[in-house]
Amino acid sequence: MREIIQEDPKRIKIGIDKTDAFQKKEEASVFSEKVSCNLAKAYDLFCQMAVPVAVVKDIIYPQFQIIYSGQGKNEPRTPLDDIATKKAIYFLFALTLGFGVSKQISNLFSKGEYLLGHLFDLVCSIGLEAFADDITKRYFTMEVSKGTLKDSDIMLRYSPGYCGWHITAQKMLHENLQSSDIGISLTEAFYMKPMKSISGVIIGCNPSKHDFNNNYPFCGRCRTKTCRKRLVVNGI
C-alpha cells in the first residue's frame, strides 16, 4: 500500500513551549514581547505558506534490507542492524512542507529580518517533526487496529544520513517511494529539495528493540543523542 497524505498546516500542533530558539537563556522564564510577537508572526506565516504532504509505503523486511544497504556505504555496525528483524513492521516515508517556506526563510534573511527569519525557520522545523509524529501515530493506530502490532509496541523513525545509515541510501529509498510525486528531489549530494523535508523508515516493534546501547563507534561524535531523548519521550 502506498498513500499520499495532505495536511492542513493549521492542524499541525506546534507548541510554543517546544521551541528551543533561545536555549542559551534558560533563566528567562518568558519570551520578551518582541520575540513573542515575532513568534506569532512566524506561526501565521507557517499557516499561510506551508504545504504539508507525505508519501508513505509499507514494505517487508527483505525489501527494507535492500533499501537500507543502499550503495553499501553504511557503517559496519549501526542501530538499524540491531533493530530490524523479520517480525518488525516497516513503512518508508518522505514528507515536505513545500518550496514556499524555504523561499520565505531566504527572503526574510536577505531583507535583514533575522529574528523573524530565525523563528520562522524554527517553527518550520518543529512543524515538520510534528507532522512526521502525526503520520507515525496514524500508522501505529492502523497497525494496532489490524492486530499486526500490540498497544505496548512502539513505532519510531530512522533516516539515512544519521546513526551510521549512509546518506547515499536516499537514492533507492526515494526511487522506491516515488517521492517526486509530492515534489521531492535529491541533489547530487543526496540532500532533499525542498529543504524542509524529511524521509526514512518508520519501524514498529517491541520497545526493547529500539532501546539499543548507543555505543557504536560514531556515537562519540554525536552531539544530539536523540536516540536517548526519544526513549524518554516514549517512556521506555
The footprint of ligand SF4 (CB under 6 A) covers 79, 163, 214, 216, 218-219, 222, 225-227
C-alpha of 145 from chain center: 24
Q: Nearer to ligand SF4 by C-beta: 133 or 211?
A: 211
User: Which residue number is nearest to ligand SF4 in terms of Cβ?
Assistant: 222
Q: Give me the least distance between CB of 200 and ligand SF4, in Å please.
A: 13
Q: Which is nearer to ligand SF4, 57 or 166 (CB)?
A: 166
Report, in Å, the least distance between residue 70 CB and ligand SF4. Answer: 17
Is the CB of residue 155 less than 8 Å from the CB of residue 90? no
Taking the complex as a whole, the smallest distance from the CB of residue 226 to ligand SF4 amounts, in Å, to 5
Grid cell listed for 126: 518543529
The span from the CA of 162 to the CA of 224, in Å, is 11
H/E stretch holding 83: helix 79-83
Q: How far is the CB of 148 from ligand SF4 (least distance, A)?
A: 26
- The answer for residues whose C-beta is within 8 angstroms of residue 53's C-beta and 6 or more apart is 4, 5, 6, 7, 95, 96, 98, 182, 183
Where do we find the cell 519501524?
Answer: 203
The nearer residue to ligand SF4, 80 or 97, going by C-beta atoms, is 80
Name beta bridge partners: 199: 94
Considering the complex, state which of residue 34 and residue 223 has its C-beta at the smaller distance from ligand SF4. 223
Helix, strand, or coil here: 166? coil
Minimum distance between the CB of residue 220 and ligand SF4, rounded to whole angstroms? 8
